[in-house]
């Protein structure tokens, strides 16, 4: 039987640091699946080295030289570069089944049970629950599906400019066809949802297994005072959508397990 893997993506050093925290969180909760990071060509060697210590496999993906269909899609839709890089996960055919996770997610417990699910399983998006959120999804690598997705992408574009629009249009029966493909919300809990339905969060939040720092402001947009153990950053930003406990947890993981992997000169550079 071929193996199964968690897959994430980073096209910049900032997202790469997010990927490191995610990978480390999966390790801390003793996953027995492989960990794979797809990285864009702009991620620096220092980050690739650090990723290599956490992940089993780090694949540098340059969509520009990854085949005709990809090139064609990119020529028609240059804005979809990151999206096409994400879709590259379907080419990981050395694995029979994978769980994709955004680099801005972090696990709070073991989630290996997700491999009991089929393609395409995902949790509802908090903004439009008939769409799935593409920050966490179960899929089956297949070159055929990859080609179809790229063709679909170049012909139809993306209604939201990103991978979530493409994937929802392609897997268009997700909302109605098969309830087993609806992951419980606790596998992709975003801070936005916490604040829009606080009583539900108080009732069910302790069951959360994956947090997703969805939105423009990311954990690495803040800084951290290691002496005080406090997250620094503009309060107005922080109170916007970021849950303070999860944000602190992200920074504690980063400080303890990720920062030591980065060269000191580099470690202290502000994130871009």
- Where on the chain is the footprint of ligand UDP (CB under 6 A)? 8-12, 15, 82, 86, 102-104, 135, 214-215
Q: Considering the complex, what minimum distance in angstroms separates the CB of residue 109 from ligand UDP?
A: 20
* Cβ 149 vs Cβ 90: under 8 Å: yes
Q: Considering the complex, what minimum distance in angstroms separates the CB of residue 100 from ligand UDP?
A: 9
Q: Give the C-alpha separation, 50 to 16, whole Å.
A: 9
SS3 at position 226 = coil
Q: Give the C-alpha separation, 63 to 53, whole Å.
A: 25
Nearer to ligand UDP, 7 or 262 (CB): 7
Residue 125 interacts with Mn ion (CB under 5 A): yes or no:
no
Which of the listed partners (Mn ion, ligand UDP, none) does 11 bind, with a CB threshold of 5 to 8 Å by partner kind?
Answer: ligand UDP
Nearer to ligand UDP, 103 or 108 (CB): 103
What is the greatest pairwise CA distance in the chain?
A: 53
Q: Considering the complex, what minimum distance in angstroms separates the CB of residue 171 from ligand UDP?
A: 17
Q: Residue with the closest Cβ to ligand UDP?
A: 102
* Cβ 11 vs Cβ 87: under 8 Å: no
Residue 126 interacts with Mn ion (CB under 5 A): yes or no:
no
**Helical (H) or strand (E) element with 52:** helix 45-54
What's the DSSP call for residue 117? S
* Residue 178 CA: distances (Å) to CA of 27, 100, 134, 141: 31, 20, 17, 20
Nearer to Mn ion, 154 or 186 (CB): 186
* Site size with Mn ion, rule: CB under 5 A: 4
Q: Give the C-alpha separation, 19 to 9, whole Å.
A: 7
Q: Considering the complex, what minimum distance in angstroms separates the CB of residue 130 from ligand UDP?
A: 17
At residue 120, what are phi and psi to the nearest 5 degrees? -105, 110
Residue 47 burial (CB count, 10 A): 25
Nearer to ligand UDP, 11 or 91 (CB): 11
Q: Give the C-alpha separation, 40 to 59, whole Å.
A: 9
Q: Report residue 254 as tokens.
A: 């980063």
Q: Considering the complex, what minimum distance in angstroms separates the CB of residue 225 from ligand UDP?
A: 25
Nearer to ligand UDP, 154 or 188 (CB): 188
Q: Report residue 203 as tokens.
A: 């009732």
Chosen residue from 40, 135, 141, 219 binding Mn ion by CB under 5 A: 135
Residue 165 interacts with Mn ion (CB under 5 A): yes or no:
no
Scanning residues 179 to 218, which ones bind Mn ion (CB under 5 A)?
214
Q: Considering the complex, what minimum distance in angstroms separates the CB of residue 229 from ligand UDP?
A: 26
Q: Considering the complex, what minimum distance in angstroms separates the CB of residue 184 from ligand UDP?
A: 18
Site string for Mn ion, 93-112 (x = CB under 5 A): ---------x-x--------
- Residue among 185, 237, 235 at smallest CA distance from 210: 185
Nearer to ligand UDP, 64 or 177 (CB): 64
Contact residues for Mn ion (CB under 5 A)? 102, 104, 135, 214
């Amino acid at each position: 039987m071929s193996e199964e893997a968690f897959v994430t993506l980073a096209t910049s050093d900032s997202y790469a640091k997010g990927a490191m925290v995610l990978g480390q969180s999966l390790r801390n909760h003793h996953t027995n699946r492989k960990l794979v990071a797809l990285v864009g060509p702009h991620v620096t060697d220092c980050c690739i080295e650090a990723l290599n210590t956490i992940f089993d496999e780090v694949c540098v993906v340059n969509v520009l030289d990854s085949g005709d269909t990809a090139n064609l899609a990119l020529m028609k839709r240059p804005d979809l570069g990151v999206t096409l890089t994400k879709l590259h996960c379907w080419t990981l055919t050395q694995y029979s089944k994978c769980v994709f996770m955004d680099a801005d997610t972090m696990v709070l417990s073991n989630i290996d049970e997700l491999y009991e699910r089929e393609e395409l399983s995902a949790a509802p998006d908090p903004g439009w629950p008939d769409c799935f959120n593409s920050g966490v999804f179960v899929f089956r690598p297949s070159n055929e599906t990859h080609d179809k997705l790229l063709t679909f992408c170049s012909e139809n574009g993306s209604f939201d400019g990103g991978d979530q629009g493409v994937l929802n249009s392609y897997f268009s029966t997700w909302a109605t066809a098969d309830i087993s493909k609806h992951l419980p919300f606790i596998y992709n809990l975003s801070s936005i949802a916490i604040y829009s339905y606080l009583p539900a969060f108080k009732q069910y939040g302790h069951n959360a297994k994956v947090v997703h720092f969805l939105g423009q402001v990311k954990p690495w947009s803040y800084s951290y005072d290691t002496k005080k153990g406090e997250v620094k950053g503009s309060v107005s930003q922080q109170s916007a959508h970021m849950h303070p406990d999860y944000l602190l947890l992200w920074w504690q993981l980063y400080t303890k397990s990720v920062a030591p992997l980065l060269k000191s000169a580099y470690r202290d550079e502000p994130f871009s």
